[in-house]
Chain A
Amino acid sequence: MSDWIDICALDDLQPDSGVCALAHGKQVALFFMPKEDRVYAVGNYDPFGQANVLSRGMIGDIDGQPMVASPLYKQHFNLQTGVCFEDDSVRIETYEVRLDNGRVAIKIAG
C-alpha cells in the first residue's frame, strides 16, 4: 500500500540543492530544481559510504539524466531511477513527488 504524505512547504526546500525529510520513519533526500520546476525524492542512505548523507550531495546531470553525487565517495545516482552510474547493480530508493499549492508530498509505502 502506498500513501501520499505531506512533507513540507516548497519554500522549505533549497533551490538547486538538497534537504532531508523524515517520512514514515524513512530518511528521504529531496532535491529542488527550480528551472525545471521539479523536485526529486530518493533515499538518503548512501550504500557505498553507509551513512545518511545523500541529501547533502551536489546535483546536476550526466548526459541529460538528473543525478546526485554522493558527498562521501562521489558515486553518482540517477535521480529518476535511483541507479548508480558507476555500478548499475546498485540502486537507491526513489519516490514519486507531488507539488500542490506550495506543498510538497511524496508517495511512500506505508
Chain B
Amino acid sequence: MSHKQILAVIGNGMVGQNFLAGLVKSGAAERFEIVTFCEEPRPAYDRVHLSDYFSGKNAEDLSLVEAGFFQDNGITLYLGDKAVAIDRINKQVTSAQGRVVAYDKLVLATGSYPFVPPVPGHDRAQCLVYRTIEDLEAMTAAARQAKIGVVVGGGLLGLEAAKALTDLGLETHVIEFAPRLMAVQLDDGGGAMLRHKIEALGVNVHLNKNTTLIDDGEHCLHKMNFADGEKLETDIILFSAGIRPRDDLAKASGLAVGPRGGIVIDNQCRTSDADIYAIGECALWNNQIFGLVAPGYAMARTVVAELEGAAGSFTGADMSTKLKLMGVDVASIGDTHAKTPGALVYTYQNGASEIYKRLVVSADKKRLLGAVLVGEASGYGTLLQYCLNGIELPENPDALILPHRSDESVGLGADALPLSAQICSCHDVSKASICSAIEAGCNSLPALKTGTKAGTGCGGCVPLLKAVMDSELAKLGIEVSTDICEHFPHTRQDLYNLVMIGEIRTFDALLERHGRGRGCEVCKQAAGSILASYWNEYILKQEHIGLQDTNDTFLANMQKDGTYSIVPRVTGGEIKPDMLIALGRVAKKYGLYTKITGGQRVDLFGARVNQLPLIWQELIDAGFESGHAYGKSLRTVKSCVGNTWCRYGVDDSVGLAVELENRYKGLRAPHKIKFAVSGCTRECAEAQGKDIGVIATEGGWNLYVCGNGGMKPRHADLFATRLDKETLIKYIDRILIFYVRTADRMQRTAVWMENMEGGLDYLKAVVIEDRLGIGAQLEQHMQHIIDTYQCEWKTTIADENKLKRFRHFINSDDTDDNVVFVQERGQIRPANEQERKHFKLTEVA
C-alpha cells in the first residue's frame, strides 16, 4: 500500500472516544492516519457521571482518555477546535481555526445539545443548561449568589440537575410540563412514587406547568410565569427539556437528516454518503435517537467492524435504564407502558416503604416485556435478563416483585443465565467472556472490571457481575478468605454477632469458643473494640488490657520516641478562657510541646509514661476529660461559630456540636469517627468531609454521612434534609450502631459505605424506613453506651493498681535515657539521631 488513508472523526465525546479506543485495538488502525476534532477544551470525559463533579470528582477523574492515548497511537487531536464545514465533493473538513483536513472516511460523533424551549426570557442571565463541565462550572458560579434554583424538565437529566442544585445548597424546584416525572420511562404509579420520594428530599415538584414568560423577579433575579397564572421566583433556571441531535454540519453538507433532526444512518451506521458514518446521539436509526451511551458504543463497535472489513451491524438497542436519582433507585425495562397487544400488568405498591414495582408480561405469562421499579431496584439485573434473553418466567411472575423472606430464593441465580447473556450492556460483555476472564485469574471485582471492562460504564450491572463472579469462583473451588486473621475463621462482623449472640464478655472466652492459638494484635484489637462497643466496660479492666493497642493501654498517643501526647476533650471546639489557661499552665509545668490540632483542640506532646497520671490529675481537676484521641472512637465534633455570632448563621452549630460530642463521646467503633456541624451552607466546619456532617438550613438540619479526609478523601453523602434535632439524633444513633455492628475492622465509614451492597439507599432503608426492623434495638444499644460512659482517665487515676503500669521500669524509678529533647522555635522536640549521640556524649563527659 502506498500511503495510509485519512480517517477524520468530528467530536471527541463519549462515543467518539469509544470509537477511537476500539479502532486502535482493531486491525483497521494500521490502515489509517487518524485525525479528530474536539470542540470542547478537553478530550472526552464521562458525561454519565457528570454529577459526580459535585461530589468531589474533577475533570481529570472524569476523563475517559488514558494518559498518552493520542500520542501513543499517533492520533492527531485538534483540541478546542470545532469543525464548521464538510465539503463532500472535495472530501475535506474545515475547522473554526481554519484547518482544512482531507479525509477518506469521516465519522460524525457530534452528540446532541440541550433543548431550550423558546419561552420569552429564556436567554436571560443565569439561564443555564447541563451537559458539559463548563456548564457545571457556570452553575457553581451562579449558585454562589443564589438561594433558589429551578430546573425546567422533570426527566432523567432534569432530576439529576435538581440533585446538583440541592447539593449546591439551593432551594430547588422542578417544573414539568407533563403530568408525571420521567414521563418517558415511568408509568403514572411509578412517577407518583418518585415524586413523593423526591419531595421528601426537599425538592419541590410542580407538574402540568407550562412556562409562558420569564421576566424580572421582585426578590430573586427571575420571575417565571406559568400558563395557569401561577408564578415562581428564582435566581437560577436550568433547562433540561430534552436533547436535540447536533446535525447542523451534516445538514449543511447535504446529508440526509430526519424530519425532527438526527443524521440518518443504516445498519452499518453509514449516512447517505457511503464514506461518512454517524454514531452516538447525533445519529438517527430507524427513526430513533438513542439518548444513552450504550447504544452509542454499539454503533461505535459497528463502525470499527466495518472498517476492519468484518461483518458488523447495529440493529437497535435496549433502552432499559437503572439510575439513582437523588439517591432514589429508579429502573425501567422494555415496554413499560404495556403497549404490546395483550400485555398483562402486575403492580406492587408499598406506601410505607415507598416502593413501586410494575411488571409487564406477555399474554401467555411466559415472557417479561417490561418493568418499572421505583424505590427499590435490586431486582433490575434479574428482570433485565428475563426480558433480554426471553427466559421463561416462573409460574407466578408477581413473585418477582413481591417482597420475599430471605430464605426463599426468588429470581434468577447467576447460574440460570445462558452463557450468551449480556451482563454489561454498556460494554457488551457476555457471561461467557466474564467466565473466561475468571478462569484466566481475574478473581476479584476490580480485576474483573479491568479485565473485561464490565461494570465500568454506568455501573448498573455490578451486582449481577458480582453474582456471576461469586458463583463461578465457587464452581472453580476458589475460596476468597475473609477471615480476620489466622486465629479466627471469621470476619469482624461474624465476631460481632458471636459476641452478641453468645453474650461473650472476654477475649479468652471468644478464643476458646471460636478461635485457635494465642491470638495476635489484629484479632485482639478487633475483639477489644467489639467488646467495648457492645458492653462498654472500662477498657483497662484486667481481662481487656492485653487487647488494647499501646495508645489505648496508656490512654494517650505514642510518639516516635516512645513519649506520649495528651489531647483533652474540647467539646465542639468551644473553650472557656480559664480552661485555656489551665492547659497552658499544665503544659508549662511539665515542659510539654503545645500545638493546636486540626480537630479544634490542643495537643500536649512529650509526656513520659510516668508523667501521664500526674498531668491528667491536674487536667481533671481543672475540669477536663479524656479526648479519646488514642481510641478508635469518637474524636471531635468540629463546629463553626454559627448563628450566635456569625451574620450568615441560621442555627446554633456550636450548641449542637457540643451536644453531639457529649452524646457520643466514648463510643468505640471499628475505626475513629469524626463529626462536624456547620451553621449554614458556607460550611466553615467542613462537615461534608466527616463521617457525620450536619449543616443548618432554614428548614432544619441536613445530615451528611460517610465523608472522609485523610488518605482517600470522600465527600459525605446527603442522607436526609430539614430534620428536627430529635430525628437527627435518632438517625445518627442508628447509623453509628449499624456501622459499629457491620463494618470491617479498621474500616472508616466512607469505605464501609462504598462496600455496602445497596449503598446509600440501603442505609437509608435501614435507618429511615427501618426496613430490617432493628431501629429501636440500635437506639437502645446507643442509649446503653451513653448511660455507661465514663472518663477513662478519671477511672484510671482513682485506681492505685492501674497506676502501677505508668512507669517506664517495673523495678526502678529511672526514666528512659533514650528520650532526649532539644529546643526549636521556643519549645521542645525529640532530638534526632545526630543530636542524641551528641547529648549522650556530653552527659557522660
A residues adjacent to B (C-beta < 8 A) = 7-8, 12-17, 19-22, 27, 30, 33, 35, 45, 49-53, 56-64, 66-67, 69, 71-72, 74
A53/B562 contact (C-beta < 8 A), A17-B553, A60-B487 known: yes
Bound: A67/B487 CA distance, A:
14
Contacts of A13 in B (CB 8 A): 810
A-B contact pairs, 26 of them (CB 8 A): A7-B810, A8-B811, A13-B810, A14-B545, A14-B805, A16-B545, A20-B808, A21-B810, A21-B811, A22-B809, A22-B814, A27-B816, A30-B810, A50-B833, A51-B818, A52-B562, A52-B818, A53-B562, A56-B558, A58-B549, A58-B550, A60-B517, A60-B520, A61-B518, A61-B519, A71-B551
Bound: A63/B517 CA distance, A:
8
Contacts of A30 in B (CB 8 A): 810
* A19 near B553: Cβ-Cβ < 8 Å: no
B525 CB–A CB distance under 8 Å? yes
* B560 near A19: Cβ-Cβ < 8 Å: no
* A66 near B812: Cβ-Cβ < 8 Å: no
Bound: A72/B550 CA distance, A:
9
Bound: A7/B833 CA distance, A:
30
Residue of B nearest to A31 (CB): B546
Contacts of B542 in A (CB 8 A): 15
Contacts of A67 in B (CB 8 A): 520
Bound: A74/B508 CA distance, A:
23
* A8 near B546: Cβ-Cβ < 8 Å: no
B612 to chain A, nearest CB (A): 12
Contacts of A35 in B (CB 8 A): 508, 518
B residues adjacent to A (C-beta < 8 A) = 486-487, 508, 517-521, 523-525, 542, 545-551, 553-554, 558, 560-562, 804-805, 808-812, 814, 816, 818, 833
* B810 near A20: Cβ-Cβ < 8 Å: yes
* A16 near B546: Cβ-Cβ < 8 Å: yes
Bound: A58/B551 CA distance, A:
11
Q: Which of A15, A60, A71 contacts B558 (CB 8 A)?
A: A71
* B810 near A51: Cβ-Cβ < 8 Å: no
Contacts of A60 in B (CB 8 A): 487, 517-521, 523-524
How many residue pairs bridge A and B at CB < 8 Å?
Answer: 99
Which DSSP category, helix, strand, loop or mixed, fits chain B's interface?
loop
* A72 near B486: Cβ-Cβ < 8 Å: no
* B560 near A72: Cβ-Cβ < 8 Å: yes
Bound: A21/B518 CA distance, A:
24
* A59 near B546: Cβ-Cβ < 8 Å: yes
Q: Which of B521, B524, B561 contacts A74 (CB 8 A)?
A: B521
Bound: A97/B353 CA distance, A:
66
* A51 near B562: Cβ-Cβ < 8 Å: yes
Bound: A71/B546 CA distance, A:
13
Contacts of A72 in B (CB 8 A): 558, 560
Most A CB within 10 A of own CB, among B508, B545, B811, B812: B811
A12 to chain B, nearest CB (A): 5
Contacts of B812 in A (CB 8 A): 21-22
Bound: A59/B520 CA distance, A:
6
* B811 near A56: Cβ-Cβ < 8 Å: no
Contacts of B549 in A (CB 8 A): 58, 71
A56/B546 contact (C-beta < 8 A), A21-B809, A51-B818, A62-B486 known: no
* B811 near A66: Cβ-Cβ < 8 Å: no
Contacts of B523 in A (CB 8 A): 60
Most A CB within 10 A of own CB, among B518, B561, B833: B518
Bound: A30/B809 CA distance, A:
11
Q: Which of A15, A58, A64 contacts B521 (CB 8 A)?
A: A58
Bound: A57/B553 CA distance, A:
10
Q: Which of B520, B550, B804 contacts A56 (CB 8 A)?
A: B550
Q: Which of A50, A58, A63 contacts B525 (CB 8 A)?
A: A58
Residue of B nearest to A36 (CB): B518
Most B CB within 10 A of own CB, among A7, A56, A74: A56
Bound: A49/B819 CA distance, A:
13
Contacts of B809 in A (CB 8 A): 20-22, 27
B11 to chain A, nearest CB (A): 53
Residue of B nearest to A12 (CB): B810
* B560 near A51: Cβ-Cβ < 8 Å: yes
Bound: A99/B736 CA distance, A:
47
Bound: A37/B486 CA distance, A:
23
Contacts of B525 in A (CB 8 A): 58
B741 to chain A, nearest CB (A): 24
* B810 near A19: Cβ-Cβ < 8 Å: yes
A22/B520 contact (C-beta < 8 A), A15-B542, A16-B546 known: no
